[in-house]
Amino acid sequence: MNGQRKQHPRDGQSRSNRQRNGQPRNNQPRRARAHISGARIVAYDVLRDVMDRDAYANLALASRIREAKLDARDAALATELAAGTLRGMGRLDRIIELAADRSVKDIDERTLNVLRLGAHQLLSMRTATHAAVNESVELQRRVANERAAGFVNGVLREISRSTPEQWDRDIAAKAGSPDEALAAATSHPSWVVRALRDALRAEGRDGELEELLAADNAAPRVNLALLSGAGIAPDELAAVEPDSLNARGMSPLGLELVGGDPAGAISTAEREAGIPVGLLRVQDQGSQLAALSLVHAAPVRRGERWLDLCAGPGGKSAILAAEAVIEGATLRANEVSPHRADLVRDSLAGVVEIASPEAIEVVSHDGRTHEAYGCGAQTHELFDRILVDAPCSGLGALRRRPEARWRKQPSDLPELTALQGELLDAAVAHLAPGGVLAYVTCSPHLAETRVMVDRLLKREPGLRELDAKSAVRTAARNGETIDLAGDHLSAQLWPHRHNTDAMFIALLSRD
C-alpha cells in the first residue's frame, strides 16, 4: 500500500480539446456507449446538484428519481448510492487520495464524483468488483472527461485490492492526531467531532462519541407524523396498513415507514383510512416532540395566542396548528422567506380545512421586527406560547442531510448565534406574563444550545427556565421513559440514543 505506485493516466484536469460536433481530436468515431444503470446516473446527478448548486440531497434525490422514472428497486439503489456517498465522503476522499497518490484537490470534480460513487460501492455495498469498476468507467465516459476513464479504472482497481479495514488503518497512519483519524474514518470534519464530544461531555456521556458518529452515518428509517384531528390514532392506522406502517418511536403522533415510497404509503393511508389530506406527513420524531413539548409545558387555556416565529418549511407549525384547533387556541406562523412562507401555507392546508378561518394565519416578516408579531404603530402584541425554531448549523440532522457536515465551518457560528440571540430577544419582548417560550435547534453544538440559553437568562432576569425534560417525557407516547442525560433543565435528543435528529429543546417562562 505504501510502496511505489504505478503512474495513472492524467485524470483530465485540463479540458479535452474536442471538435464542436463531439468527435475526439483524431476524428475517429466515438465508441458505442455501454449500458449504465439509471440509478447510477441519478446518483451522479444528485452529487452534482449538491456540489454545484448547493441543493439539499433529499430534495434533489426525489426530483431526480421522478425525472428518471425509476422503479422502486432502482430508486432504492440510487438513494443508497447518493446518500451513502455523501455520508462517507470524507473517508472516501482519503482513500481515493491514497489509491491515486494525489490530493483530491488535483482531480477534476466530475471525475472525483465518479470515483466517490465507485469507491462507495466497493467499500460499503455488496456490489461485485467488476460491476462497480466497469460501470464507473462507463459513467466517466458519459459524464466527464473520456480520456480519464483509464485513471478511474486504475484507482478503483487499486481500492478493490484492499479491505475496508486495511484502508482505515492506512488513513489512521496518515492522520496528524487521534481526532483527525477519527474524523477521517467516520467522515465528519474534525471540528464537528470536537463539538459533538463537547456536547456529550456536558451530559457526562462523552464515551458515546463513536456510537453517535456511527449513527450519523446510518440511513435513518422514514418517520411520519399523524396530526391530531385525523380521526384515527397512529396504532389504529398501523393496524390498517401493517405492510407499510408501524406505530413505533417516542412521539405519540409518530409512525415508522416499514418500506416503500413514503408518498405512496401516505396516499394509500389517506384513501384506506379516510384521513383528511395533509394530516399525515413525513417528519422526524424529534421534531414532533419539540413542537409537542411547547404544548405540554403548561396547561392550555382556551383563547391562547400561539406564535411559530421561524416557521418554514412548516412541519412544527402543522403540529402546533392541529393542537391549537383542539385546545381552542390560535396560531400565527411567521417565516422570513416568502418562498418558505408558501411552503408553510401548503403544510398547514390540511389543518386549515378543519379549523375556523381566524384560527390560523401565515405571514412573512423578519422575526426580529414588530411586524412579525402583528404589531401596529400603537400596539404591542403578546403571545402565550412562542416557538423559536431558530436557524442553526444543522449538525443534528446529519443522518438525513449528510451534505450539511461539509457545508458548515466554525466561522459560520458567530453569525448564526448572533441571529439566534436577536430572535430570542425579540420573542421574549412579545411573550405574555406566564407565557412559555420554546427555544429549539436541530444542533447539539453548545454555542447554539446551553450557551445561548444561559446568556438569555442573564439578559432577561424576568425569565425562568422550565423543566423541558419533564415536558418531553409528558408529551411522549404513553408517558414513555426517555433517557435524557445531564443536569440542565433543557432536553437534548440524539440519533444514537433516541433514534431521532439531535434536537435541543429549552423551555422558558416569563414570571
Does pLDDT of 3 surpass 50? no
Name the band, by pLDDT with cuts 50, 70 and 90, for residue 378: low
Tell me the pLDDT tens digit for each residue of 28-82.
Answer: 445 555 678 899 999 999 999 999 998 989 889 999 999 999 998 899 999 999 9
Of 448, 394, 438, 397, nearest to 418 (Cα)? Answer: 448
| Residue 131, domain CATH | 1.10.940.10
Whether 427 and 415 map to the same domain: the answer is yes
**pLDDT number for residue 2:** 41
Mean pLDDT of 180-207: 95
Among residues 442, 472, 476, 491, the one annotated as catalytic is 442
Whether 95 and 149 map to the same domain: the answer is yes
Q: Is the bond preceding residue 313 a cis peptide, omega within 30 degrees?
A: yes
Annotated binding site: 310-316, 335, 366, 389
Does pLDDT of 499 surpass 60? yes
Whether 167 and 303 map to the same domain: the answer is no
The answer to whether residue 123 is domain-embedded is yes
**pLDDT number for residue 471:** 97
**pLDDT number for residue 167:** 95
Whether 131 and 256 map to the same domain: the answer is no
For residue 442, indicate whether it is catalytic.
Answer: yes
Mean pLDDT of 102-112: 96
Whether 149 and 163 map to the same domain: the answer is yes
Does pLDDT of 13 surpass 60? no
Cβ distance 336 to 422 under 8 Å?
Answer: no
The answer to whether residue 195 is domain-embedded is yes
Tell me the pLDDT tens digit for each residue of 156-185.
Answer: 999 999 999 999 999 999 998 999 999 999
Name the band, by pLDDT with cuts 50, 70 and 90, for residue 375: confident
The alpha-helical segments, DSSP class H, found in 275-363 are 285-296, 315-327, 338-352
**pLDDT number for residue 130:** 94
**For residue 290, what are the domain limits?**
285-401+408-510
Mean pLDDT of 93-119: 96
Distance of alpha carbon 193 from alpha carbon 247, whole angstroms? 33
Tally of domains within the chain = 4
**pLDDT number for residue 377:** 54
Distance of alpha carbon 299 from alpha carbon 310, whole angstroms? 24
Cβ distance 461 to 215 under 8 Å?
Answer: no
Whether 264 and 300 map to the same domain: the answer is no
Tell me the pLDDT tens digit for each residue of 284-319.
Answer: 999 999 999 999 999 999 999 999 999 999 999 999
Whether 267 and 302 map to the same domain: the answer is no
**pLDDT number for residue 24:** 40
Whether 454 and 305 map to the same domain: the answer is yes
Whether 426 and 375 map to the same domain: the answer is yes
The answer to whether residue 142 is domain-embedded is yes
CA angle, 437 then 390 then 54, to 5°: 165
Does pLDDT of 496 surpass 90? yes
The answer to whether residue 335 is domain-embedded is yes
**pLDDT number for residue 379:** 66
Q: What is the mean pLDDT of the chain?
A: 91
Of 282, 311, 332, the one marking the end of a domain is 282
Of 262, 282, 302, the one marking the end of a domain is 282
Does pLDDT of 19 surpass 70? no
**pLDDT number for residue 16:** 36
The answer to whether residue 501 is domain-embedded is yes
Mean pLDDT of 467-489: 92
| Residue 416, domain CATH | 3.40.50.150
CA angle, 52 then 57 then 58, to 5°: 155
Rg of the chain in Å (alpha carbons): 25
Whether 258 and 113 map to the same domain: the answer is no
Whether 394 and 503 map to the same domain: the answer is yes
**pLDDT number for residue 226:** 97
Name the band, by pLDDT with cuts 50, 70 and 90, for residue 356: confident
**pLDDT number for residue 376:** 63
Distance of alpha carbon 116 from alpha carbon 88, whole angstroms? 9
The answer to whether residue 25 is domain-embedded is no
**pLDDT number for residue 357:** 76
Name the band, by pLDDT with cuts 50, 70 and 90, for residue 4: very low
Cβ distance 193 to 186 under 8 Å?
Answer: yes
The answer to whether residue 19 is domain-embedded is no
Distance of alpha carbon 49 from alpha carbon 437, whole angstroms? 37
Does pLDDT of 456 surpass 80? yes
Distance of alpha carbon 367 from alpha carbon 335, whole angstroms? 7
- Range with lowest mean pLDDT among 14-28, 266-280, 441-455: 14-28
Whether 466 and 369 map to the same domain: the answer is yes
The answer to whether residue 212 is domain-embedded is yes
